[in-house]
């Protein structure tokens, strides 16, 4: 589904499907170059990172395997609760592995700071982060993000895996919501 299929719900489109796909290919090439000859364990953060993971790993030529975590930091709305809980943990041991965390969006950086700290205690060889979107707020958090799809303004965005109250994840482009959607 494209934003133009339900025009009343969105304010404006930030990135089209084509722009997202093109940026994914660039980041994939960068990752392949950095990890040449190594096998990556990509750790996707559910549910938001599913689209990024699916497209990114298929654009890569590196050997990789995949695992998933689910954490909660946000409720149904658009404000951070400040609380991070592990709802679903990894299924594999990461001792000695090269971990690439795949995340949909970084806002305050709170979620990823917690995640990195948690995974580091399991003794991997390395941990890097790929975030499809990054908001300016993250400057308040000391977080080393190696791969970023797009730096975006401080607006609430949906699509390409990102949701509002669990909706709009299936939007192929990335858009801001019309004000009436928040209010209804």
The C-alpha atoms of residue 5 and residue 59 are separated, in whole angstroms, by 27
The C-alpha atoms of residue 164 and residue 116 are separated, in whole angstroms, by 25
Smallest gap from Cβ 107 to ligand XMP, in A, equals: 3
Nearer to ligand XMP, 62 or 111 (CB): 111
At residue 138, the 3 state secondary structure works out as: helix
Nearer to Mg ion, 31 or 102 (CB): 102
- Interacting partner of 100 out of Mg ion, ligand XMP, none (Cβ under 5 to 8 A depending on kind): none
- Interacting partner of 110 out of Mg ion, ligand XMP, none (Cβ under 5 to 8 A depending on kind): ligand XMP
Tell which phi-psi region holds residue 48, choosing left (phi > 0), alpha (psi between -120 and 50) or beta.
Answer: alpha
Smallest gap from Cβ 74 to ligand XMP, in A, equals: 5
Nearer to ligand XMP, 46 or 66 (CB): 46
Q: What are the φ/ψ torsions at residue 67 (nearest 5 degrees)?
A: -145, 165
The C-alpha atoms of residue 18 and residue 1 are separated, in whole angstroms, by 14
The C-alpha atoms of residue 103 and residue 50 are separated, in whole angstroms, by 9
Catalytic residue numbers read 107
- Out of 15, 20, 40, 48, name the contact with Mg ion by CB under 5 A: 48
Contacts with ligand XMP, residue ranges (CB under 6 A): 48, 73-74, 80, 103-111, 156-158, 162-163
Nearer to ligand XMP, 2 or 32 (CB): 2
Smallest gap from Cβ 96 to ligand XMP, in A, equals: 27
At residue 140, the 3 state secondary structure works out as: helix
């Amino acid at each position: 589904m494209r934003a133009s299929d339900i025009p009343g719900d969105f304010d404006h489109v930030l990135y089209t499907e084509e722009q997202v796909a093109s940026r994914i290919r660039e980041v994939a090439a960068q990752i392949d170059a950095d990890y040449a000859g190594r096998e990556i364990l990509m750790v996707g953060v559910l549910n938001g990172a599913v689209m990024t993971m699916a497209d990114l790993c298929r654009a890569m030529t590196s050997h990789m395997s995949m695992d998933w975590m689910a954490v909660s930091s946000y409720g149904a709305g658009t404000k951070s609760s400040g609380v991070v809980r592990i709802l679903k943990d990894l299924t594999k041991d990461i001792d000695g592995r090269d971990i690439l965390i795949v995340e949909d969006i970084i806002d305050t950086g709170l979620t990823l700071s917690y995640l990195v700290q948690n995974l580091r205690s399991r003794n991997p060889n390395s941990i890097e982060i790929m975030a499809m979107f990054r908001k300016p707020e993250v400057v308040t958090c000391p977080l080393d993000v190696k791969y970023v799809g797009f730096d975006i303004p401080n607006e609430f965005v949906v699509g390409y895996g990102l949701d509002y109250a669990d909706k709009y994840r299936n939007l192929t482009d990335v858009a801001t919501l019309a004000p009436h959607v928040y209010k209804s």
